[in-house]
Every structure is written in structure tokens, then in C-alpha cells.
Structure 1
Amino acid sequence: MAIPDESVGLGVDIVEIERMRKIIKRSPAFVEKIYSAAERAYCDEHAHPEVHYATRFAAKEAVLKALGTGFSGGIHPLDVEVRRTAKGRPYVVLTGRAREVAREQNVREIPISLSFTHTDAVACAMAITDESVAAQERRRDPMEELTRQFKEARTFLDDLPAKESGQA
């Protein structure tokens, strides 16, 4: 079995929504410590903010798993912020130590996917490095490779001296 390539990090996390609701109720300061003002505004504008807080917490964990660090080495939850494009697609903005770690690893992009059910929030993140992009570019499409080989063989055949007529 091959050793996994370190050029792409993958992180997945799941958070129980009810647990997040209880944490927020018990300790309102929790949201101030963990979420940016923009994240809090987004979550609080919904009928069930705990769903969105849980989803964003899962995203923060997934991103840090993809980087291979977790909340350690000076990385704070506020160093990972989940935002949305104008069309609603979530994306991550890194600051502080999380940003430094990503730069040290030559991370080019961290796409994320968020989802939730009635009970759980889940997030997936990939830390795509410059090396992983270069490796992908080096890989050849099998049909392109076959076409290249055919052209080489055809050129080789075309370069062979033609037999004189009448010789068998």
C-alpha cells in the first residue's frame, strides 16, 4: 500500500447541533471568543443560529485538520473565518498563525464544503498546495499519452526508407 502524498491535506469534522445550542446558552461569551463579528452576524440572522455556529465550528476544525495542526501551535479559532461569496458559496479566510502555517506549507487554496441535518453539522476542507497543483499538471491524460505515442510511431514509420518497387 502506498504512503499518502502530503501535498493535499484533507480535514472533516462533525458537530452536534444540540451540543452547540447548549454551549451557547450556558456560555454566551463562547461565540465572542470563537467567531468573528461577521460570522456572528451571519449566524444570528437565522431562526436557528446554533445550526450555523455548529457548521462554522466544524469548518474551522476541518480546515485545521487539513493543515495538520488542529488548535495548537498558537492557532486560535479566530484565525479561521468562514465567509460566503455573493452567490452563497462558503470560503475560508486565514489570519494569524493559521495563515503563517498555510504559507509555510505552500497552501494555494482551501476549498470547503458545509452541510447539516436536523442533528449534526459537518464540514470538509482540502488544503491544496503548490506541489499538488504541479503534480496534477505533470500527470498525462491516458488518451493524450496514447495519441502522443501513436504520433511517435507514425513518425518513426514515415522516416523508414521506402522499399524499392519489385522487391519482396
Structure 2
Amino acid sequence: MILGIGTDLANIDRIEATLARFGDRFRDRVFTPREQQKAEGRPRSVAATYAKRWAAKEACSKALGTGLRMGIAWKDMAVTNLRSGQPVMHVTGWAAQRLAQMTPEGHEAVIHVTLTDDHPWAQAFVVIEARPLRPGPA
């Protein structure tokens, strides 16, 4: 069952200008160290990588039904990648609490995220799914 859907579109040039203006203050407020390492390790697409993660955080907060209010912090949502490159959303803090609240008993929440960019745009789409837990052996 679908618990929430969120999407966001971010302007890469705007993120690049914000990075130039605020630097580490912006990076440290919004992105986890692992997200920063990923972005800074892509010299040809630093701003695009940050913009996709910004959009993912916005989309995730919308899928949680709150937007960026009600206690959610930017770093309560973080994107990593599997070896295959597939993005994975992790939630902690208030975002994890909100996810637990919206997950029906007997289910586990799974967050699906997809990211894309085509300069000057970066886009993210998040779907939160509730999957029934498998009953244990009797």
C-alpha cells in the first residue's frame, strides 16, 4: 500500500549559486558528511549532485506528509547509493518518527527514491510503501 508520494524540482544553477555564496555553512546545514563526500567526489557535477539530493529531501518530506516543517531537519533525510548506483533514502530523527507513525501495524515502510538531472534541472520522486511483514514460522 502507498503511504505517501512526493516530488520536487530543483534548479541546479540556484544550488550552485547558494554553494558559492554560503559554502560550508549551507553544505553542513543541509547535507550529511556522506552526501557531501559523494557530491565533492564528482568534480564535473558537484552542483547537480547536491541539487538532486536537495530535491530528494524535499520530495521525501512531502511524502511524509509534512513538508519541511513540524520538526523535520534537512539531515534527518539522506541519500546514499548502492553499488549499482541506485539511490537509497535513509531517515533518522523526527523523519524516522513520522515514518513510524504513518506505518500501519504489521507492516514495514520502504522508501523508494529516483533522481535525475538535465541542466538546469534536478528532479526527485519519492514513494513510501507499506509492505506486510511476513509471519514467522508457527
The reply to whether TM is greater than 0.5 is yes
The unaligned stretches of length 5 or more in structure 2 are: 134-138
Quote the Cα distance in structure 1 between the aligned partners of 2:75 and 2:130.
Answer: 22
Question: Counterpart in 2 of 1:109?
Answer: 110
Q: Distance in 2 between the 1:63 and 1:52 partners?
A: 16
Aligned counterparts, 1:7-156, within 5 A:
7-28=2-23, 29-46=25-42, 47-106=44-103, 108-130=109-131
Q: Distance in 1 between matches of 2:20 and 2:28?
A: 13
Larger Rg: 1
Q: Distance in 2 between matches of 1:94 and 1:7?
A: 17
Q: How many residues align?
A: 127
- Tell me which residue corresponds to 1:143: none
Task: Kindly provide the amino acid, as one letter, of the partner of residue 19 in structure 1.
Answer: R
**TM-fit CA distance, 1:8:** 2.6
Structure 1 contact 59–124 (Cα < 8 Å) conserved: yes
CA distance in 1, matches of 2:2, 2:57: 20
Counterpart AA for 1:101: R
Which residues of structure 1 form unaligned runs of 5+?
1-5, 135-168
- Range with bigger deviation, 106-115 or 71-80: 106-115
Cα pair 1:105 1:129 within 8 Å, conserved: no
Q: Percent identity?
A: 28
Offset at 1:85?
0.5
RMSD: 1.5
Q: Aligned letter for 2:6?
A: G
Q: In structure 1, the residue corresponding to 2:116 is in which secondary structure?
A: strand
Higher relative contact order, structure no. (Cα contacts within 8 Å, ≥ 6 residues apart) = 2
Q: Deviation string for 1:11-64 (max 9, x for gaps)? A: 000000000000000001101110000000000011220000000000001111
Could you tell me how far apart the structure 2 residues matched to 1:91 and 1:54 are?
A: 16
Shift in Å, 1:7: 4.4
